[in-house]
Amino acid sequence: MQNFLSFDRVEPKKRLVGERVKDFDEVYEVFDKVEVKNQSERCVQCGDPYCMTKCPLHNFIPQWLKGVAETNLELAFKLSNETSPFPEIMGRVCPQDVLCEGDCTLNDGHGAITIGSVERYITEKGFSKGFEIPFAHKKIGKSVGIIGSGPAGLSLATYLLRAGVDVTIYERDSKAGGLLTYGIPGFKLDKKVIQNRVELLQNAGLVLKTNCEVGKDIEFSEIQKNHDATFIGIGSTKAKKVGIENENSDGVFMAMEFLSNIQKKLFGENFNSKIDVKGKNVIVVGGGDTAMDCIRTSIREGAKSVTCHYRRDSKNMPGSYKEYRNSVEEGAEFIFYSTPKSISTENGRVAGITFAKTELSEADESGRKRVVEIANSDEVVEADIIIMALGFNPENPKFLETSGVKTNSWGGIEISKTGETSSSNIYSGGDAVRGADLVVRAAFDGREVAKEIVNNFLNK
């Protein structure tokens, strides 16, 4: 260990740009045996590892890095899969630069350990060697109904099945995974990786009811009747609108409408063929990870040009810097300090969009600089397609109100410290509670609610 003077930080190789923009396959390759050992050996094994504190799951990072460095992959696999419901997914999609790697001691001059890439390697290599995740063989005679199969629901299901609880997931889409499946594109997360985890849970006893929308195909009250506890993990995917003229015109799409439609097409499911960017000039509005996903998806779908307009600058983007860099590499143009004002149409179809210039003023209570529009700075840009990626709100289906589940001022489900909602024995977590957030935080919520539910079952 402590070999950071012998080995520099190395990131996994990326596929060449000209090759990767032709398909939706993953951009990053997996480390090989030597690379992963060298990177793990760089760890200084600090007494007080900040990486663990910053990881929302408080993963045993130094311990599994030591396992890999000492070629004890089985130990690393066990430790990694104990605190995390799907390390190979988090290793791919976490914004490590602002989580574990951001607080790695070596980040101060030597370059952080590539924690996420080692994490991905451990579980993938472990699976290929036949290592297994332990699930309970003995049932405790209780069951939980989970609404939504996103990372919050899948994480909860994982830890309940490990404790011997029967689990049924009710999912309105035809495939499980939530935004892992229909939001995050395949070039960041191969769909087979999610499918493997879902199959693993099904083999451990998970009952998965897809194409089953709660409130439409089954009543919420029936789920309550059928199970000893219920979890609402329905996410937060209703698009935020800017409220500008012609925002609902032909040729203007909301980010999730666009991304999930392309994913459905790639899966061979029913999709809307009118959402087609091939040969078109595409404008993406927004600066977060979702905007980057729309940009890179448009490029892969054969757009003529893709330009992103964002009201701050590259240093103040809310998403991962890595994804911005990848978007630039793949040919997107970025216009910063630019905010949308109105959309112009011809025969009901989008023809252009007017942006005003912005500047940043003093920081607000959150510490973020405020955006100020510059007067008389309007500029019209021609566009064939506009994709709005400006964030999400919760959907708030009717069953929340009828079952006494309270929501707050912006529509998020209110929960206590134990994850229970205002209605007894109904729990919630993930984006439905936090608003649009991260996979790892949804996974954390699922894990913690599982502990609470199991304790309640065992103590009654």
Ligand X SMILES: Cc1cc2nc3c(=O)[nH]c(=O)nc-3n(C[C@H](O)[C@H](O)[C@H](O)COP(=O)(O)OP(=O)(O)OC[C@H]3O[C@@H](n4cnc5c(N)ncnc54)[C@H](O)[C@@H]3O)c2cc1C
Return residues touching ligand X (CB under 6 A): 93-94, 147-153, 170-173, 178-179, 183-184, 188, 213-215, 233-235, 237, 256, 259, 289-290, 293, 397, 430-432, 437-440, 442
Minimum Å gap between C-beta 96 and ligand SF4 is: 5
Residues 117, 11: contact at Cβ < 8 Å?
A: yes
**284 interacts with, out of ligand X, ligand SF4, none, CB within 5 to 8 A per kind:** none
What is the layout of strands, in order, in the sheet containing 385-388?
Answer: 252-254, 385-388, 281-285, 305-309, 333-335
Task: Indicate the length of the chain as a whole number.
Answer: 460
Minimum Å gap between C-beta 211 and ligand X is: 9
**442 interacts with, out of ligand SF4, ligand X, none, CB within 5 to 8 A per kind:** ligand X
> According to the binding rule CB under 6 A, does residue 57 interact with ligand SF4?
yes
Minimum Å gap between C-beta 85 and ligand SF4 is: 10
Dihedral, CA of residue 439, residue 445, residue 447 and residue 451, to nearest 10: 180
**115 interacts with, out of ligand X, ligand SF4, none, CB within 5 to 8 A per kind:** ligand SF4
**96 interacts with, out of ligand X, ligand SF4, none, CB within 5 to 8 A per kind:** ligand SF4
Separation between Cα atoms, residue 415 and residue 405, nearest integer Å: 9
Minimum CB distance to ligand X smaller for 118 or for 284: 284
Minimum Å gap between C-beta 165 and ligand X is: 19
Q: What type of residue is 146?
A: I
Q: What type of residue is 125?
A: K
Minimum Å gap between C-beta 342 and ligand X is: 26
Q: What type of residue is 181?
A: T
* Helix, strand and coil percent figures for the chain, each rounded to 5: 40, 20, 45
> According to the binding rule CB under 6 A, does residue 440 interact with ligand SF4?
yes
Separation between Cα atoms, residue 10 and residue 8, nearest integer Å: 6
Site for ligand SF4 in 90-149 (CB under 6 A): 90-91, 94, 96, 99-100, 115-116, 119
Separation between Cα atoms, residue 97 and residue 111, nearest integer Å: 11
**57 interacts with, out of ligand X, ligand SF4, none, CB within 5 to 8 A per kind:** ligand SF4
Separation between Cα atoms, residue 360 and residue 373, nearest integer Å: 9
Q: Which residues contact 67 (CB under 8 A, 6 or more apart)?
A: 73, 75, 76, 79, 122
Minimum CB distance to ligand SF4 smaller for 64 or for 170: 64
Minimum CB distance to ligand SF4 smaller for 55 or for 73: 55
Minimum Å gap between C-beta 8 and ligand SF4 is: 20
Phi-psi region of 370 (alpha: psi -120 to 50; beta: other; left: phi over 0): beta
> According to the binding rule CB under 6 A, does residue 59 interact with ligand SF4?
yes
Tracing tokens 């600066």 back to the chain, one arrives at 287
Minimum CB distance to ligand X smaller for 172 or for 265: 172
Minimum CB distance to ligand X smaller for 87 or for 430: 430
Q: Which residues contact 366 (CB under 8 A, 6 or more apart)?
A: none
**Burial class of residue 207 in the structure, from the number of CB atoms within 10 Å of its CB (0-12 exposed, 13-18 middle, 19+ buried):** middle
> According to the binding rule CB under 6 A, does residue 255 interact with ligand SF4?
no
Site for ligand SF4 in 162-181 (CB under 6 A): none
Write out the residues near ligand SF4 by the rule CB under 6 A.
Answer: 55, 57, 59, 61, 84, 90-91, 94, 96, 99-100, 115-116, 119, 440
